[in-house]
Structure 1
């Protein structure tokens, strides 16, 4: 059932996950064993630089690099400069110019066919400091996507991408053109639209694209059944933003969806519109940039630097962002009422914070923080509340009313197909910080979401509501099965969490408890037997349309297992992201895996 070691999951060129089908494979990956690493054809994009991007890096180094250098690639000058600054902040003694940026811009060839242009910003650095650059790539999520890398590699080999200096840049870096300049008008949102197509390149009447010189599968997977005009990327982004705002609820074609009048009754929050939704290349990019926006907002209003709060045990990179950028972080790993008591004592004594970041519910323990109390403290002591709703998702929970900003990884359930990355940040229009944050975003935000990724994401997300409901149902059935097993130590799921009351206080009227759960066993060997036997895909990520399992603590915290255990995250924890499979079929697979775990215990006795 699971793919072979190192194979993409799913089997597509831009897969988000990678197959690590046994416990041993996961441990070997963490220990860097050659037998495993040599088989890795891909990996989770923020942890494993896609082979296409690696090839692009090699070509750029060959053309523009110096001896002993490596390069990391970014979609904009601002993201490249943040990488450069991180080097000089973290590495002592770096001389001026040691870490330098090269800007590559497309040369307009004047061809009369559909052309997508992408700038590329290359950060060169001494190869001995690759681990520093990798931190930026992993934690910020702002590196180029594999689809952008594929496009730029082709453009570079064709001589279209050339070095430039001091060239004015549009706000965004995705530019589409049709024909010669005389047929173009002033860009809007970074997109140049055709005013009148040249006679030799007529506009297709059915809205399909003229992509004769490009492989159509680069834009749309075969399952879509037709070629999409890549100029629809801006409309795809608008549809995504409307869907996140709650304005689009029907599974309809893009043109019909955008033609429909948004319904106020479906909006997640009074006054919310698509203009309050901001798209990012990855979920982690939305978290990183939310933190960056809070820092920039404080600086713009002359406020002193303040630490942030990480409340509850989070996904690994959220904590790293808060620790490595800005003044630092106060970490409350348990995320309990006692932690809030301690925070309140600190606030009463005069300590002040920039913002509180928390997941709802948390990954992997599925605990839900007390957002009502957090909101009260935030209002009283003037700090922002940023909630990551990825695991709960907005079909199940309504956390925006308690937050100043809600962030999410669209890569997960919103997409489902595990073939494209994306993230979002939503401002709460009812927040007292709304005006300030809106102004800061107007000054700071740039749209780095690559066109092709947006097209895929919009397509994938059309049936998001249906899929979420189906996944909720499957997950509850599996939770009931696991909870009835005598040698299962603990099942982590919001419905049966000690913090269920906090979850229910934010549950949407028709919301369920989500598609993620975690399980631990009485014996470590039982966890291994269960995982190895389970008939499903196994690898990083969650929210996929297919069931996906991983030994989460091994994969995310292998070098800090004791630290994770202090927050209740056991080393043998298996995280399960439940998919759309037939319920009875899934139950059969899990029963067989539980039988293997039972036999493992008997073998020890």
Structure 2
């Protein structure tokens, strides 16, 4: 008689991941059927969605505020999309007119909302200002506006929307054209006005005014009972940038992080590099979008190269927001041979975008050869280091720009979005790009998000070591099983030599892997019996699995197959659980595959 093993990670469809987390960046899709149902828009899935991946699913707090703004300021039949600044709203409006040239200028309007005079007698010294810009447009054009939101990553965050909602409801967020001085700042919601430092713990046993007003989801998210002291925002951003720069690698509190000497350690191995070359963005895709946008400004309308099968929106950005791309989806040496022939024959390109390693096949590009071609034929190199992460690999010496999603393993807690962009001070393009970024850059990473990101990333170093070890152990378990067709992981890839050339002395091979099987039936059986939480995103502190190609490319599965990306691939982002426990979880899922 077979005894069923209780599953620890049975989380219902549509629940946030982590559960009861108001600003979670993942959502539970626990079965293969649920993932397909989500892509098909089936009611039994969609109706239960409490959230979704933020660039694909507009958070309910954002939608609530957008509806309120449209109801108050819009015309009949209009919707609103929210952005952190007028500049970004203008880009959205321009994209909408490009995609729908039949629209008149009067049909797409920008509403700038700014603080009114604070009724509570603000001294004007609040660390943040409840302001945003709304694009008002005909509701039937929503898919176009949503595409801009998704690809650019430049929409407002859910925490910003929550903050601004209260100001809007109180009449403290108004049309800038209605006041003479739009620079006045209000206090914003009361819970953000605490004067206690973020590092001051609140006792869970002795309720305080702060804990008494917290709802259960907020208490779970703000674990340890810490307050959001937004006066610490600037310091939190400095600490985050120091971690990304490699000059802050210890697990220390915020005050200690700020007390350290600048650039005492430079793990990036690039002379002259510092935190001043690190720029924060609302999410990783925003960093990629703005990199592409700014590079176009330097050389004009040249096509870009996308090398290796990339995360979906990277390719969409270069295709939709410029003259197009040359796509090398295999990431092979033969494709670099073809590129070199094109360049020698006179073709010119703006930039080459690549991931190190790629998602979801975990292939590593030959970035040394790419750098050589870029220097010879004058194109930029933009490397996305999200999957490898800078503790495992050092790709900056080969790039003009390095981008990363801080939402992933840098944060780990799956409750905040963030992105980074790094300029390489030793690149030939540096002086020009540095001047451009200094003139163009807007820091739109919302204050409360920065506070969470700093807190979450303090133990980044020790988490990476544990995740590396767990992922390697899981790979060995999967590789040894006869039902497994292929395990994709940098250590066991045909491109390992390229990864190892950039691997740091103490670096591992990361926490992401993917696996394929000999039949769809086997893949479904494995996934449905895999006792991990399941949903989009990666880099979480808990192991997170998904039928990635179904989720990311459901409408283009044949196209994916043409690049050797199988529809039935299962992607696993490995977390911090006990190694033996994870191995047993994998074995039970493998044993569930029909003999």
Normalising by structure 1, report the TM-score.
Answer: 0.90
Distance, in Å, in 2 between the alignment partners of 1:430 and 1:485 is: 46
Alignment of 1:248-327 (within 5 A): 248-268=248-268, 269-298=270-299, 304-327=300-323
Q: How does 1:459-474 map to 2 (within 5 A)?
A: 459-474=455-470
Per the TM alignment, residue 212 of structure 1 is displaced from its structure 2 partner at its CA by: 6.7
Corresponding position of 1:378 = 374
Query: Match of 2:63?
Result: 54
Residue 585 in 1 paired to residue 581 in 2? yes
Q: Partners in 2 of 1:561 and 1:222 — Cα distance?
A: 39
Question: Relative to 1, partners in 2 of residues 1:219 and 1:444: Cα closer, same or farther, differing over 3 Å?
Answer: farther
Deviates more, 1:356-365 or 1:50-59: 50-59
Match of 1:157 among 169, 191, 198: 169
SS of residue matched to 1:352 = coil
How far residue 386 of structure 1 moved from its aligned partner, in angstroms, is 0.2
**Where does structure 1 lack aligned partners over 5 or more consecutive residues?**
179-200, 299-303
Show the counterpart of 2:89.
80
Q: Is the Cα contact below 8 Å between 1:220 and 1:456 reproduced in 2?
A: no
Q: Are 1:400 and 2:408 counterparts? A: no
- Using the alignment, how far apart are the partners of 2:181 and 2:439 within structure 1? 17
The residue aligned with 2:480 is: 484
Q: Does 1:28 align with 2:41?
A: no
Per the alignment, in what secondary structure is the counterpart of residue 473 of structure 1? helix
Match runs of 1:156-235 below 5 Å: 156-165=168-177, 221-235=221-235
How far residue 3 of structure 1 moved from its aligned partner, in angstroms, is: 1.3
Is the 8 Å Cα contact of residues 308 and 322 (structure 1) preserved in structure 2?
Answer: yes
Which of 114-123 and 476-485 deviates more?
114-123
Contact persistence 2:305–2:352 (CA under 8 A)? yes
Q: Is the 8 A contact 2:26 2:535 kept in 1?
A: yes
Shift of 1:390: 0.2
Matched, 1:4 2:7: no
**Structure 1 residues 335 and 205, CA, compared in 2 at 3 Å: closer, same or farther?**
closer
CA deviation after TM superposition for structure 1 residue 168, in Å: 7.8
Report 1:337-348 matches (<5 A).
337-348=333-344
Contact kept, 8 Å, 1:75 with 1:143, in 2: the verdict is yes
TM superposition score normalised by structure 2: 0.92
How has the CA–CA distance of structure 1 residues 206 and 40 changed in structure 2, closer, same or farther, with 3 Å as cutoff?
A: closer
2:205 matched to which residue of 1?
Answer: none
The correspondence for 1:545, drawn from 519, 534, 541, is 541
Q: Supply the distance in 2 between the matched residues of 1:47 and 1:93 (Cα, whole angstroms).
A: 26
Contact 1:219/1:228 (CA < 8 Å) preserved in 2?
no
**Cα drift, residue 417 of structure 1:** 0.2
Partner Cα distance (2:84, 2:74) in 1: 18
Residues 584 and 70 (structure 1), Cα distance of their counterparts in 2 relative to 1, 3 Å cut: same
Does the 8 Å contact 2:199/2:253 carry over to 1? no
The answer to whether the Cα contact below 8 Å between 2:197 and 2:229 also exists between their aligned partners in 1 is no
Corresponding position: 1:246 with 2:246? yes
1:69 correspondence with 2:81: no
- Which residue number corresponds to residue 6 of structure 2? none
Tell me the alpha carbon deviations over residues 98-128 of structure 1, each in whole angstroms, 9 at most, x when there is no partner. 1110010011315358844221100011111
Distance 1:532 1:207, change over 3 A: closer
Q: From 137, 140, 144, give the equivalent of 1:128.
A: 140
SS state of the match for residue 265, structure 1? coil
Are the equivalent residues in 1 in contact too, given 2:122–2:187 (CA < 8 A)? no
- Find the counterpart in structure 2 of residue 556 from structure 1: 552
Task: Say if 2:361 and 2:489, in contact at 8 Å, map to a contact too.
Answer: yes
339-348 vs 201-210, which moves further: 201-210
- Choose which of 85, 88, 107 in structure 2 pairs with 1:98: 107
Pairs aligned (count): 569
For residue 428 of structure 1, the aligned residue among 424, 428, 434 is 424
After superposition, the C-alpha distances for 1:517-559 in whole angstroms (9 at most, x for unaligned) are: 0000011101000000000100000000000000011111111
Mapped pair 1:39 → 2:21: no
In structure 2, C-alpha distance between the alignment counterparts of 1:206 and 1:533, rounded to whole Å: 41
Kept in 2, the 8 Å contact 1:209–1:230? The answer is: no
Structure 1 135/349 Cα, relative in aligned 2: closer, same or farther at 3 Å?
Answer: same
State the match for 1:186 in structure 2: none
Contact kept, 8 Å, 2:114 with 2:130, in 1: the verdict is yes
Cα deviation 1:40-69 (Å, max 9, x = unaligned): 111000000001111111111111110111
Taking the aligned partners of 1:203 and 1:242, their CA distance within structure 2 comes to: 25
CA contact (8 A) 2:543 2:575 kept: yes
Contact 2:304 2:326 in 1 (8 A): yes
The one-character-per-residue Cα deviations of 1:25-47 (angstroms, maximum 9, x if unpaired) are: 00111111111111111100000
**Preserved contact between residue 56 and residue 149 of structure 1 (Cα < 8 Å):** yes
C-alpha distance in 1, partners of 2:160/2:220?
A: 14
Instruction: Map 1:466-545 to 2 at 5 A.
Output: 466-545=462-541
1:512–1:133 CA distance, 2 compared to 1 (3 A) = same
Q: Which residues of structure 2 form unaligned runs of 5+?
A: 1-8, 203-207
Counterpart Cα distance in 2 of 1:228 and 1:203: 9
Match of 1:108 in 2: 117
2:114–2:182 CA contact under 8 A, matched in 1: no
Distance 2:32 2:132 in 1: 39
Contact 1:207 1:228 in 2 (8 A): no
Structure 1 residues 294 and 130, CA gap change in structure 2 (3 angstroms): same
Deviations 1:295-344 (A, max 9, x none): 1222xxxxx42111111100000000000001111111011000101111
C-alpha distance in structure 2 between counterparts of 1:80 and 1:57, whole Å:
14
Does 2:138 correspond to 1:137? no
Within 1, Cα distance between the matches of 2:530 and 2:82? 38
